Amino acid sequence: MKFYKNLYVGETIKNPNKVKWKLRLNAVPPNVYVIALAKGRDQLEIYHCGFLRQKYYKKYSPYIIGISRGYEEAVDMVVKITQEALDKNGSPDIKKFLFS
């Protein structure tokens, strides 16, 4: 599992290193959502950390951009990332913004 070097962390996450450690061990922290790069043309995906325990994600590890506690906070973080991309590049291309 890979994490973005400037990981976006939700305001309600008290100890992000502990959450990252639990995610690596496939321990499911309650109500934690991850924001990951999409494999296809889409920009980002949001899903509950419990999905990371599936065999697919063990084989194809996601690149995690952000972690949050709760789905609503994850959506707010995606909006924030998109706004930052618009402000910096003038386009909503999040992948270009994150890896420029």
User: pTM for the full model?
Assistant: 0.89
Q: What is the pLDDT of residue 26?
A: 85
Separation between Cα atoms, residue 20 and residue 27, nearest integer Å = 10
Judged against a pLDDT cut of 80, whether residue 8 lies above it is answered with: yes
Q: Which amino acid is at 1?
A: M
- pLDDT at residue 30 above 90? no
Rounded mean pLDDT of the chain?
91
Domain range holding 93? 2-98
Whether the per-residue pLDDT at 75 is higher than 80: the answer is: yes
Q: Count up the domains in the chain and report the number.
A: 1
**Mean pLDDT value across residues 1-14:** 93
74/71 Cα distance (integer angstroms): 5
